[in-house]
Amino acid sequence: MRCILLNPGPVSISDGVRKAAVSDDLCHREPEYFTLQDRVRSGLLKVYALDPAEWTAILLGGSGTTALEAMLSSLAPRDARLLVVENGVYGERISRIAEIHGLDYSTVDHEWTDAIDFDRVEKALVQGAFTHVAAVHHETTTGRLNDVKWLAGLCEQYGAELLLDAVSSFGAEDVPFESPALAACAATANKCLHGIPGLCFAVCRKSAMQKAVDPPRSLYLHLPLWAAKQDQQGTPFTPPVNSLLALNKALAELAQQGGWRARHAQYTNLAGQVRRELSRHGVQPLLSVGESSCVLNAYRLPQGKTYETVHDGLKHRGFVIYAGQGSLVAEMFRISTMGDIGPYDMERLLASLSSVFSA
């Protein structure tokens, strides 16, 4: 029985992606690898039809947090003032990265279950003379999809550049690339794009790259170094070659399936099926449909059920879900509908949910 991952990455991958990951042994100093690298970088820009004269995709080895840390530490100059918007674990992670790298930053913090209070954000922008704003698009702590279009509008109004954590949204949600305030976003191969772990990337406006910090704050995480080498068909360090092979195939599959909008529709449909089935058993969502990402929804544990009981019951039936985090660990569980999930998988999942929550 195939095990289906319903956690927010890594995801269950297609047979085509799995085969592509081990299809070739490539040396990262040979022309064949650089052809692959060029194709993947170009393919990432094509996901949102970005102009390569204005944007660049920079590949790094590591998790989504690697790309996030590289983006923040590279694109905030030494005289930058950074405003971090927090309403979950990953917004708080941005603040931790800023602290470690010695950035001058302030926060607008919220409870993890709260939407962004844009009045407070605007007040901070009015008072603080911030050059940059950093926020999470899809805050997977709760499944909340933050209104980053509104945030980008505020950044435009107050002359700040937006650095966006799009790790759990790139490839399935609408990223506001049309906003001149958006300087860059960080993402990863192994979530909405359906690649494998080990490869992450930043999509950066070239004008923002020209203002990157100098001298670097980091050796490995300095985006201009990676960009310069990749533009010259090189790489500064050993890349995750097999992850590039997998992502190259995953991007081709995404295009064949209709692009990010079709993936958004697919995720929305699957999440709706899960929500309706759980509702039949009295399991309530943590957030309303309009507040949640199509990628992941959080649900309150019903009385008499523990996360361990629900997790183990579903895993026994071939499905892996995710626990809550921090203070929410005893209150909720999370189900993501990313990945290669077909009609038969959904039939099994809905039947498994019924069995677990009827017991």
- For Cα atoms 232, 233, 235, give the angle at the middle one, nearest 5 degrees: 95
Which pLDDT value is given to residue 359?
A: 74
How many CB atoms lie under 10 A from the CB of residue 186? 30
Model confidence at 336, in pLDDT bands (50, 70, 90)?
Answer: very high
Taking the mean position of all CA atoms in its chain, how far away is CA 199?
12
pLDDT value at 64 more than 90: yes
Q: Is the dihedral of CA 273, 1, 140, 161 positive or negative?
A: negative
Beta bridge partners of 99: none
Question: Using CA atoms, how far apart are residues 325 and 208, in angstroms rounded to an integer?
Answer: 34
Question: Using CA atoms, how far apart are residues 94 and 137, in angstroms rounded to an integer?
Answer: 12
Q: Is the dihedral of CA 281, 286, 288, 294 positive or negative?
A: negative
Share of the chain above pLDDT 70, in %: 100
How many CB atoms lie under 10 A from the CB of residue 279? 12
Question: What are the tens digits of pLDDT across the range 143-152?
Answer: 999 999 999 9
Query: Structure tokens of 44?
Result: 């990432």
Provide mean pLDDT across the span 69-96. 98
Contacts for 105-109: CB closer than 8 Å, 24+ residues apart? 105/81, 106/81, 106/82, 106/130, 107/83, 108/83, 108/84
Which pLDDT value is given to residue 188?
A: 98
Which pLDDT value is given to residue 112?
A: 97
Structural domains present in the chain: 4-9+258-358 (3.90.1150.10), 15-256 (3.40.640.10)
pLDDT value at 58 more than 80: yes
Residue bearing tokens 């704003």: 133
Which pLDDT value is given to residue 152?
A: 98
Question: What are the tens digits of pLDDT across the range 207-217?
Answer: 999 999 999 99
Question: What are the tens digits of pLDDT across the range 212-237?
Answer: 999 999 999 999 999 999 999 999 99
- Smallest CA-to-CA distance from 170 within 152, 182, 188 is with 188
Question: What are the tens digits of pLDDT across the range 138-180?
Answer: 999 999 999 999 999 999 999 999 999 999 999 999 999 999 9
Q: CB of 145 within 8 A of CB of 292? A: yes
Provide mean pLDDT across the span 17-46. 97
pLDDT value at 18 more than 80: yes
Q: What is the mean pLDDT of the chain?
A: 97
Question: What are the tens digits of pLDDT across the range 227-280?
Answer: 999 999 999 999 999 999 999 999 999 999 999 999 999 999 999 999 999 999
Model confidence at 349, in pLDDT bands (50, 70, 90)?
Answer: very high
pLDDT value at 1 more than 80: no
pLDDT value at 47 more than 80: yes
By CB atoms closer than 10 A (0-12, 13-18, 19+), residue 2 is exposed
Give 17-68 as a DSSP string. HHHHHTS----TTSHHHHHHHHHHHHHHHHHTT--TTTEEEEEEES-HHHHH
Question: What are the tens digits of pLDDT across the range 285-315?
Answer: 999 989 999 999 999 999 999 999 999 999 9
27 half-sphere exposure, CB direction, 13 A CA radius: 3
Q: Strand locations in 234-277, DSSP E? A: none
Which pLDDT value is given to residue 128?
A: 86
